Structure 1
């Protein structure tokens, strides 16, 4: 969303899963007892995908705001 994209639609287009399936799988991982490593992995992937989407979209939705 930071780049002006619908993440749910991107997951559907890219991986063929909708947001409901994604959340279902996330709940399974949360209950797996591997939560701490999952959070670390999620943070790494968030940074990776944010950089990728910013490059593709030409920045983030707030880049043109000056205070």
Structure 2
């Protein structure tokens, strides 16, 4: 699924795969920081999808990453 997400980010952000990976890593870092501060909200995950140009269907991907899956 990660490769698919990278390709979708490349398309939506018009960037290279390396840049897409950096964008994705940055969003995950931000969500983990919010989680560690016990301040993570559903809206934050929706915003991560939006920031990367992903459909909200990809929220589960972020939830799984935060859960360590």
Q: Give the TM-score taking structure 2 as reference length.
A: 0.35
Q: Say which structure, 1 or 2, has more relative contact order (CA 8 Å, 6+ apart).
A: 1
Higher Rg: 1
For normalisation by structure 1, the TM-score amounts to 0.36
